[in-house]
Structure 1
Amino acid sequence: MMRIVLLGAPGSGKGTQAQRLMGKYGVPQVSSGDLLRDAVARGTELGKQAKSVMDAGQLVSDDIVLGLIRERLSRADAANGFILDGFPRNIDQANSLNALLEEIGQPLDAVLLLDVRNETLMQRLAGRRICPKCGTVYNIHSLPAGATTCEKDGTELYQRPDDKEEVIGKRLAVYDQQTKPLIEHYSKLGLLRKVAGEGELEEVSERMEAAALAKPVPASKVKVTKTPAQAKRKNPAVKSAKPAAKGASKAASKAKSSKAKTKTKSKPKSAAKSKAPAAKGKAARKSAKKSSKAAARSTKKAARKAPAKKAARRPTKARKKK
């Protein structure tokens, strides 16, 4: 199953890539322009309405285009999917298309955006040449020097009027104004997949195929996240608060670790200290008793000696007087 919409500026290669996917997976390319031309050529009811509008020089209404798309997707070859090219071109058409696809039970799987630089687009469009017989598209930058005819049938190639340089700038301006908002629209729905549209044809086709076959992401699961650098730029307070928070957390962790260390170390020391004072107290009491006894003995000796000396002196004094 492959139900996709192709987005991209004129010259991005949508038509070429749609044809390659169609050839490989068998799903029809549904181009709004081709649908209009086919309906007018076959003279269908919608084709008659479209012809009268175009003959009056007016734009075909969205209702007519959506009617043509509904009719085309009802055919058997669209049962396994489709590749919408050239529609929608703005948000209103995108909403109308979504309502139609939901109604017929064929919602979109993905929207592929071919991303190509403007200078590359100018080169592609201004150099584009088309075979009026088989519709094969060429570019003068890739054709052999001097070649001006189709390689398949030899028909003279021509340049479309809207591929002239003075017209290309206006076409790209219209795309920027009208179609680019669809990028944001489908991105919010989780359907957009950007594909690099520059490089070798085979490389671009491989990228397109991988993007088309990737599983869709539900819109409810699509979240826009900010990188740390973006958060810091937008909220400078966060930047200044983070170092402080880090410092506080480091200080807190150091304090916790130091407390834990002191608790584990203090337990054995406190037990040793509690025993040490008891031992010291006993020794102090013993030494105090010894010193007090020694002091008492010395005082007794001094008391004994002192009276004897006094008694010995007194008689000598009395003898001298006589």
Structure 2
Amino acid sequence: MMRIVLLGAPGSGKGTQAQRLMTKYGVPQVSSGDLLRDAVARGTELGKQAKSVMDAGQLVSDDIVLGLIRERLGRPDAANGFILDGFPRNSEQANSLNTLLEEIGQPLDAVLLLDVRNETLMQRLAGRRICPKCGTVYNVHTLPEGVTTCEKDGTELHQRPDDKEEVIGKRLAVYDQQTKPLIEHYSKLGLLRKVAGEGELEEVSERMEAAALSKPVPASKVKVTKSSPKSAPKSAKTASKSAAAKSAKPAAKQGAVKKAGKKAAAKSKAKPAAKSSAKSKAAGKKSPAGKSKAAKKAPVKTKSAKKSSKRPAAKKPAGRKARAKK
């Protein structure tokens, strides 16, 4: 499914990119200008109304254009989507188009804006040539030298009157005044995707395709609800945020906590030795074994020491005893 609107100044390449998307995804390109010409050529009721207005030199009303769009999107080939090119041109038409698409159940997926510099636009428009038979667009800057005919049917290429340099400036001014407000309009709806429109044709097409297929949720449809900690478990994202918030305590507070911890550790280590020895003595007296830790650490007498302590005293000489008897 691909339901998109193409925006961009004259010469930005909307028509070329629309044709490439249409060929690849099988959705019709719906151009308001083509619809008007086709309706007039077929002589439909809306075509007759449009012809009478154009013959009088007036602009065709939005109601007629919207009627043609409704009729075109009702055909079977538009069931899987469409590419609107050339409509809407202002915010009022955009609101009317939105109402119509809601009525027929085909709301927009995206609005693609081809962003191209003015100097590039001037070069493209002034050099553009079109085949009047098949509608293929060429540019003199990319055509081989000396080639002036369509490669498909050999028809002589021609330049549209509105591609003359003196007319291009006026066309760009009209775009700035009327169509650029649509950028803000669709941005607020969350539908706008800006695509860089300069570079190789294939590169631009890849960007267009990627932008057309991405479908972010519009900001207006996103609902944020607050839940209590008990009612629902925290998501991984919420948990990481809360952890980050906890770790982000002021440096001064963290410093104070660290200092307090150091002081407490210093106090616990700085107890008087006398106190600790008194406690150990008391513990030694009270313990059932009757031995303190200090006693356990006392050196143990060796066997040789025990034997030396049990040796008999040295005998007195016999001469002394004799003298004593005399």
TM-score range, shorter chain: 0.7 to 0.9
Aligned to 1:252: 253
Aligned to 1:22: 22
Q: 1:271 to 1:69 in 2, by over 3 A?
A: farther
Aligned to 1:133: 133
Aligned to 2:34: 34
- Secondary structure of 2:111 counterpart: strand
Asked whether the 8 Å contact 1:2–1:82 carries over to 2, the reply is: yes
* 1:263-294 Cα distance to aligned partner (Å, 9 max, x none): 12112324548679xxxxxxxxxxxxxxxxxx
* 1:132-159 Cα distance to aligned partner (Å, 9 max, x none): 1121111111111122222222222111
The reply on whether 1:71 has 2:71 as its aligned counterpart is: yes
Q: 1:209 to 1:275 in 2, by over 3 A?
A: closer
Shift of 1:117: 0.9
Shift of 1:125: 0.2
The reply on whether 1:109 has 2:117 as its aligned counterpart is: no
Q: 1:70 to 1:273 in 2, by over 3 A?
A: farther
Alignment of 1:116-265 (within 5 A): 116-220=116-220, 249-265=250-266
Asked whether the 8 Å contact 1:110–1:216 carries over to 2, the reply is: no
Q: 1:219 to 1:255 in 2, by over 3 A?
A: closer
CA distance in 2, matches of 1:203, 1:275: 82
Q: 1:156 to 1:257 in 2, by over 3 A?
A: same
- Secondary structure of 2:9 counterpart: coil
151-160 vs 76-85, which moves further? 151-160
CA distance in 2, matches of 1:201, 1:275: 88
Asked whether the 8 Å contact 1:91–1:185 carries over to 2, the reply is: yes
Aligned to 2:292: none
Shift of 1:78: 0.5
* 1:212-238 Cα distance to aligned partner (Å, 9 max, x none): 111232223679xxxxxxxxxxxxxxx
- Aligned residues: percent identity? 85
Aligned to 1:93: 93
Alignment gaps of 5+ in structure 1: 224-247, 277-322
CA distance in 2, matches of 1:217, 1:117: 30
Partner amino acid for 1:134? C
Aligned to 2:280: none
| C-alpha RMSD of the superposition | 2.3
Shift of 1:200: 1.2
Partner amino acid for 1:162? D
Asked whether the 8 Å contact 1:109–1:216 carries over to 2, the reply is: no
Shift of 1:197: 0.9
CA distance in 1, matches of 2:154, 2:256: 88
Asked whether the 8 Å contact 1:113–1:193 carries over to 2, the reply is: yes
Shift of 1:58: 1.0
CA distance in 1, matches of 2:276, 2:131: 110
Partner amino acid for 1:189? L
Q: Identify, as 1 or 2, the structure richer in helix.
A: 1
Q: 1:254 to 1:273 in 2, by over 3 A?
A: farther
Aligned to 1:60: 60
Partner amino acid for 1:39? A
Asked whether the 8 Å contact 1:190–1:222 carries over to 2, the reply is: no
TM-score, length of structure 2 as denominator length = 0.74
Aligned to 2:291: none
The reply on whether 1:268 has 2:269 as its aligned counterpart is: yes
TM-score, length of structure 1 as denominator length = 0.75
7-16 vs 138-147, which moves further? 138-147
Partner amino acid for 2:163? D
* 1:14-64 Cα distance to aligned partner (Å, 9 max, x none): 011111111111111000000000111111111111111111111111111
Partner amino acid for 1:25? Y
